[in-house]
Amino acid sequence: MQYRLIEKTGDELSALGFGAMRLPSKNGKIDRDKAKELIYYAIDNGINYIDTAYLYGDSESFLGEVLTDELRSKVKISTKLPSINVRKYDDMEKILDEQLNRLQTDFIDYYFIHSVDLKTINRLLKRDLIKFIDKAKSDGKIRHVGFSYHGPKEEFETVVDAYGWDIVMVQYNYFDDNVQSSIEGIEYAASKGMGIVIMEPLKGGILAGKMPKEAEEIFKKANPNKSNADWAFEWVLNNKYVTSVLSGMNSLEQLQDNIAVTNETTPLSMTFEEMETVELVKRVMRDSLKINCSTCGYCMPCPQGVNIPVCLRIYNEKYLFNHKGLINPSLIDYFQYAEGIMGSKGNAGMCNACGKCLRKCPQNLDIIAELKKVKKEFEFPGDKYIILFIEKIGFPLYRQMLKILNR
């Protein structure tokens, strides 16, 4: 296993991190025997970074059970403060103590503020987030702190500058290389000595699955022995600024494949021809988009608050990856990132056709017309009540269930 240094902390993390969000399950609960086998195999093969979160079901408690004192000393654990649960300062201290109890540990190596954008960070700062972080550090409950980012790339560097963070977690893959953060944003965080942890290297498994025919043919022609997942992993690991790539592995085969790819891919090890192959695939996929939007963000900010790049991106992905069914990944993404369940609200229906975005779009898109398509595709009468139900009833019920499960 290769290890990569975080300048600010002096820690060397395994280039492959174990994401404990998608552990194998049985009857709706973690299959503890299978999950334990995976965790032990990962540690035996050099993985020393395990990531979980308060909102990942029973994941924290499971890790607390299986990580004996000896194994705990071999790994760095990261978990996350659920920003959505924080209403007042005391909530932060209460949640952290609960997490320490679940994980059966005296301290957390890397503590992330979960699912933030600039608006969320500002809300937490008003609730004395910095006071909480400094106190938790001085009390020895957390050693290093960071944030997992779920906002637009235009706000990324502002959030980086909001505190002296040690680490950041951001979605980054060859298809989403300009969404939550550009390479310039990642380089900026790295220039401050921060660790860069990558989530969704396979875009939730999409880049490991079936792709447009022409894209598949390009990959197979370049190297018939590489899987789509291999190409995606290599592209991320090739980045010299990346510290660790998280993967939610739920089978031994996935774990073994990812370890093999990680061991073969050091920073800047991909050849020019291999990088060009990935670029060609990305170009084919971009050319297949329904809306010719590059998510550059020049159209922003919208006076009405519409998150134009996110709305158009999710619409494109629905058709590019052939997402079907009443409940599909694109609709879920839309509810999370456009309807405001996981951040700031910015859906297509907020557009009032003011036209300010039209003058700024380098692609000369009729953004107003495109947003109408998005609205028709993802928004429907009564959806605001669904969102209200999730926020006011669904999330509180979910949190209550977690408390019951962890008693």
> Is 276 contained in some domain?
no
What pLDDT, on a 0 to 100 scale, did the predictor assign at position 121?
A: 92
> Is 402 contained in some domain?
no
257 and 312 fall within a common domain: no
Arithmetic mean of pLDDT, 142-154: 90
The model's confidence at residue 406, banded by pLDDT at 50, 70 and 90, is: very low
Domains contained in the chain, number: 2
9 and 127 fall within a common domain: yes
88 and 167 fall within a common domain: yes
In the listed set 216, 244, 269, which residue is the last one of a domain according to the structure? 269
Q: Is the dihedral of CA 318, 323, 329, 335 positive or negative?
A: positive
57 and 181 fall within a common domain: yes
Judge whether residue 144 has pLDDT over 50. Answer: yes
> Is 404 contained in some domain?
no
**CATH code: domain of residue 127:** 3.20.20.100
323 and 264 fall within a common domain: no
More confident: 281 or 206: 281
353 and 256 fall within a common domain: no
255 and 355 fall within a common domain: no
> Is 317 contained in some domain?
yes
What pLDDT, on a 0 to 100 scale, did the predictor assign at position 389?
A: 67
H or E stretch including 258?
Answer: helix 252-264
Give the phi and the psi of residue 233 in degrees, each rounded to 5: -65, -45
Residue 99 contacts residue 108 (beta carbons within 8 Å): yes
> Is 120 contained in some domain?
yes
Which range among 41-45, 87-91, 130-134, 299-303 shows the weakest confidence by mean pLDDT? 299-303
> Is 398 contained in some domain?
no
219 and 313 fall within a common domain: no
> Is 285 contained in some domain?
no
Instruction: Give residue 341's domain range.
Output: 308-393
> Is 94 contained in some domain?
yes
251 and 332 fall within a common domain: no
CB count within 10 Å of CB 138 equals 9
Rounded to whole angstroms, how far apart are CA atoms 170 and 154?
14
Judge whether residue 393 has pLDDT over 90. Answer: no
245 and 384 fall within a common domain: no
pTM equals: 0.76
Rounded to whole angstroms, how far apart are CA atoms 315 and 338?
11
209 and 328 fall within a common domain: no
264 and 324 fall within a common domain: no
The model's confidence at residue 56, banded by pLDDT at 50, 70 and 90, is: confident
